[in-house]
Amino acid sequence: MTTTDEKWAERIRQWQESGKTAEEFAAGQPFKASTLKWRAAELRRSAQGGERYGKGRARGPGRPIRLARVVTRKSSARQQGAGPGLVVEMSGARIGLSRGFDAELLAEVVRALGGSR
């Protein structure tokens, strides 16, 4: 357990012993009630042997990280006043998007390129 986890475990213990709601306990503290509840859930998941959702933990061991480079640019649509253009480059493909693009179609293309399972 890291020192941050220990600090939050102590705060959570104090909260639970206080009998107060998270909102009442967090009032005047340097953290929000939502953070207190999230940390309690994270530590509970960890104690039960589950995977935590914090930074860098969402991907399981041995699973590759997939990256996509997003480049903004002026497109002909933008020059015509339709809004900013966007180019997504991944797996050697370049996908040009403009405001109002079909998100479902983009998701299918990304899956086909191996960017999502």
* Degrees, nearest 5: CA angle 27-30-32: 60
Spans of all domains in the chain: 3-47, 69-112
Residues sharing a CB contact under 8 Å with residue 57, sequence separation 6 or more, in sequence order = 51
Give residue 82's pLDDT: 52
Please report where in the chains the tokens 């995977």 appear, as a residue.
51
pTM for this structure?
A: 0.43
Report for 7-21, 44-58, 68-82, 101-115: range of highest mean pLDDT: 7-21
| Helix 3-18 and helix 33-47, axial crossing angle in degrees, nearest 10 | 110
* pLDDT of 105 over the 80 cut: yes
Q: Provide the pLDDT confidence category of residue 31 given band limits of 50, 70 and 90.
A: very high
